[in-house]
Chains A and B, each alone.
Chain A
Amino acid sequence: MAIKSFNFSKAGNRQEESEDSFAYDEKSGKYAICDGASDSIFSGLWGSCIARQFVSGNYNLSNPEDYSSMLIDARRVWYSSINWARLPWNVKNKSIRGSYSTFLGINLIVDDAKYCDAWAVGDSCLFILDDTNIASFPVSTPDDFGVHPDLIWSGYGHPMNERKEYIPDYKVKKFSAEIKEGSQVVIATDALSKFLMEGGLPAFDKMLENIDNREFFDHLRSDGTIKNDDLAAIIISS
């Protein structure tokens, strides 16, 4: 199995300002990608905590209790990563309301055949490509990439966290498919997913040719082919 990945911040932003994040563990077959919401603060951190928790833990997200456990564990890491007492007034005022992120997690299971289970909140996308077909989840047409996708909330920041218990809201979409021999599996955040969906197989080829070439994506973002957004993907080829 060959795994490639990239994460390019918005054109004009520094790389460390990307609010997209991903994590994977080839051994366990777990891959996750998250897109932190720009409107909230510490959302890149929150997305990264969710992705890492999914990959490092053993959660069956079809079970709402497991989903809650994963997010409560991710929230614990998120909360302890922030030095609440030292935040300046403006960061403190904004962070009270917590952070938001999309999430897409997949589990590649190799048995007699290869299967993929996927769970999603929001519009980060899974693509399964064979020679002729592209299957996508959870978004099926480019027009469905909305301005307000579903998001996972971190719960409140300090000091509201002391007054309100964090109870995650279960709004997960599920998907399962068999992966044919020779197929490619791609997970990507929204702007890149829309580009791939609109462009079909040639767009996937272009992405693969330019996986280390930020300038290529900057050009597509400046000419409007891709929205100026953070772009991240994991590409898994068997």
Chain B
Amino acid sequence: MAYEAEISRRRPGLFIFLVDQSRSMSHKISGGQHSKAQEAADAINRQLNEIISRCTKSDGVRPYFEVGVIGYGYRSGDATGLISEQPIPINELESHILRMEKKTQTIDGEEIEIEFPVWFDPVASFDTPMVKGLTIAKQWIEDWVQRNPESFPPVLINISDGGATDGDPVSIAENIMNIETSDGKTLIWNCHISERSERSISFPTDLSQIPEEKHSKEMFDMSSIIPESMLAIAKEEYADVETGARAYVYNANLEDLIRLLDIGTRVVYNKVK
């Protein structure tokens, strides 16, 4: 049965986040107050914090996951690990914190000041070497699967506002989606974030549902079909998600970005024992 493996210290899960650092990421995201780069960095930092929280027990953080973040476009044609050079166990993330920030959180109508960690800052610099980013991710995933052949399959979440400027990302994404553990193939989720206020298209089942643009079609092709076990969670947020839907949101605003990250990670958290 695919995508059913229990996640434990012996069989951890893997999350890899890819983030576009191209120049156009400096434009304000639709539905938000800040740049796409800022919102993407905030969303991933928050998600890393959420993964730590899920693994936190009274005696510390249990290594139920390994995580890695790859940025592409910080300089022309290049990509790199933003927190570490390899995925690291979640309990080691503590030693990679850039700084702590105080933020106000509302709990039960009361505003509480809470300290949150930041692991990396936003960058919006050059082009979109997505293929380079995916190449690093492929290497990370291959190495990890070799070490964890029976684990829940790796989950890769890619956030970008455009198409690759360094070649064809679809073939390498297909290669990644074919890397498998005994529990299933690697899942790729894509979030195409936008500065335009046009309607977003969430989890399409068919190419005809998205505009005929090269990059939007590419991202459709490089997105996994959402496994049945994850559909119910996607439906909690988007009622019209159908069997066969791709793990892809096109023209996403800030809310869509946050929802996609939530859906892509939540079903995996449910496998932690």
Show the binding face of A for B, using Cβ within 8 Å: 10, 12, 17, 38-39, 41-42, 44-45, 88-94, 96-97, 156, 159-160, 163-164, 228-229
Contacts and interface: CB of A to CB of B under 8 A. Distances in A.
A96 B112 contact: yes
A93 B94 CA distance: 14
Name the residue among A10, A89, A156 with the largest chain B CB count within 10 angstroms: A89
Contact of A91 (B58, B114, B272, B273): B58
Contact of A42 (B58, B100, B116): B58
A41 B9 contact: no
A89 to B, nearest CB: 5
A91 B110 contact: no
Interface in B90-143: 94, 100, 107-108, 110, 112, 114-117
A41 B56 contact: yes
B229 to A, nearest CB: 13
Contacts of B117: 89
A163 B113 CA distance: 13
A96 B100 contact: no
Interface in B4-62: 6, 8-10, 49, 52-54, 56-61
27 contacts: A10-B273, A12-B273, A17-B57, A17-B59, A41-B57, A41-B58, A45-B58, A89-B100, A89-B117, A90-B56, A91-B56, A91-B58, A92-B115, A93-B49, A93-B114, A94-B53, A97-B107, A156-B107, A156-B108, A160-B107, A160-B110, A160-B112, A163-B110, A164-B110, A228-B6, A228-B8, A228-B273
Interface of B: 6, 8-10, 49, 52-54, 56-61, 94, 100, 107-108, 110, 112, 114-117, 272-273
4 closest pairs, A vs B, by CB? Answer: A90-B56, A163-B110, A89-B115, A42-B58
Contact of B56 (A94, A159, A163, A164): A94
A112 B61 CA distance: 53
A229 B273 contact: yes
Given A41-B58, A164-B108, A93 B8 contact: no
Contact of A93 (B53, B59, B60, B108): B53
Nearest to B111: A163
A90 B112 contact: no
Given A93-B114, A96-B114, 15 more contacts: A10-B273, A12-B8, A12-B9, A12-B10, A17-B59, A38-B272, A41-B56, A45-B58, A89-B100, A91-B58, A91-B60, A92-B115, A93-B115, A96-B107, A164-B108
Given A159-B112, A160-B107, A160-B110, A90 B52 contact: yes
